Amino acid sequence: MLSGSLLFKQFREKEVGTITLYLQYIVNGLTLGAIYSLIALGYTMVYGILKFINFAHGDILMVGAFIGLIIYNALTGGEAADPGAWTILAFFISMLASMGFCAILGMAIERIAYKPLRNANRLAPLLSAIGVSFILSNGAAWIFGTQSRRFPYPFENEPIHIGAITITPHQIVIIVVSVVMMVLLTSFVSKTRMGKAMRAASLDQSTSMLMGINVNRVISLTFAIGSALAAVGGILAAFDFRVYPSMGTMTGLKAFVAAVIGGIGNIQGAMIGGILLGILEAVGAPLLHIPNGMRDTVAFAVLILVLLVKPEGILGKNEREKV
């Protein structure tokens, strides 16, 4: 249901042959996968440092989409606005603002709901995360109502035809924004001292502490970055899936699957896992004649396969239990 509209929107069966048809699916899968990747990064970065799955992450993308939508509507007047330079600028302003909001929200959640449980039983923070997830989605339903809203396109969304393949400007925006975010993140982690502190903390927290790295600060930063990326993912997803309080549940779950496929804890893995899952989902469903309502099963079937064949994921390391 989530990806259905995206996949079949531009597809005109009579005009294209099977090969171009599947090329079209791959293009559609790329845009879907780019969104999964952005969201998967938050799961994987948090897991890398805390060995903990932040199940509230999916709901942060929902909050990000709502905040983005509200700011965008406030700036442009919403649906009524004619697409133009101002709406495009407003779109990026609202995205940045939403990133900032979600970064602070992510840090606050960590401080309030996870940090006090850091030395508790491993199950405790997990339950706390599920609780936060409910608070966020129900809080959004209470504040914004349960009806879904459309995120207006800030530009003319006339499809562009390249040969037999059709791509819409909003798909290009999704891919470009995602790639920019991933490049920025990669160079941040590999180049800056803060990024190195993050890597060091994910390798060994106690050693890093003795090297003068403030691990608490690193953890806050990790939540901030992950949540900001989720906000971007939420806004981009909103073009295709609309905005509603439970929008984060399935998208978040699939992004989590993507993180596991790529090797949880590995940043490049999350990017690859997300793109791969998007393409597999977009290509696999029509290939296997899976009906639209059952489309989500593809992601989870892939998850089961990966767990059976390579449980550590594509780029994951085979982790031995430390005694």
In the complex with another protein, the residue whose CB is nearer, 180 or 307, is 180
Determine if 93 is a binding residue for another protein (CB under 8 A).
Answer: no
Closest CB to another protein among residues 196, 242: 196
Q: How many CB atoms lie within 10 A of CB 51?
A: 14
133-172 footprint of another protein as x/- string (CB under 8 A): ----------------------------------------
Q: How far is it, in rounded angstroms, from Cα 209 to Cα 200?
A: 9
Residue 167 main-chain phi, psi, to 5 deg? -135, 140
CA–CA separation, 165 and 173 (whole Å): 17
Q: Which of 207, 294, 305, 311 binds another protein (CB under 8 A)?
A: 207
Shorter beta-carbon distance to another protein: residue 39 or 264: 264
Least distance CB 121 / another protein (angstroms): 22
Name beta bridge partners: 167: 160
Q: What is the CA radius of gyration of the chain?
A: 20
- Kindly state whether residue 104 participates in binding another protein, applying the rule CB under 8 A: no
Residue 43: count other Cβ atoms within 10 Å of its Cβ: 28
Confirm or reject binding of residue 319 to another protein (CB under 8 A). Answer: no
Q: Which of 143, 210, 309, 323 binds another protein (CB under 8 A)?
A: 210
Residue 16 touches another protein, criterion: CB under 8 A:
no
Q: Which stretch binds another protein (CB under 8 A): 15-23, 76-84, 211-219, 250-258?
A: 211-219
Of 80-88, 118-126, 212-220, 270-278: span binding another protein (CB under 8 A): 212-220
Binding string, residues 262-301; x marks residues near another protein by CB under 8 A: ----------------------------------------
By three-state DSSP, how is residue 149 classified? Answer: strand
Report if residue 206 touches another protein, rule: CB under 8 A: yes
Cα–chain-centroid distance for residue 289?
27
Q: Which stretch binds another protein (CB under 8 A): 22-30, 48-56, 82-90, 200-208?
A: 200-208
In this structure, which amino acid lies at residue 196?
K
CB 29, CB 283: distance < 8 Å: yes
Distance from the first to the final alpha carbon of the chain: 45
Residues 179-198 close enough to bind another protein by CB under 8 A: 187-188, 190-194, 196-197
211: contact with another protein by CB under 8 A = yes
Residue 9 binds another protein (CB under 8 A): no
Q: Does 96 bind another protein (CB under 8 A)?
A: no
| DSSP letter string, 7-21 | HHSS--TTTS-HHHH
Q: How far apart are CA 259 and CA 316, in angstroms?
A: 10
Running DSSP on this structure, what letter comes out for residue 115?
A: G
Burial class (CB in 10 A: 0-12, 13-18, 19+), 173: buried
Backbone angles phi, psi at 161, to 5 degrees: -105, 120
Q: Which is nearer to another protein, 148 or 214 (CB)?
A: 214
The residue range among 52-60, 65-73, 86-94, 203-211 that interacts with another protein, by the rule CB under 8 A, is 203-211
Q: Which two tokens stand for residue 108?
A: 């606050």
Residues that bind another protein (CB under 8 A): 187-188, 190-194, 196-197, 200, 203-204, 206-207, 209-215, 217, 317
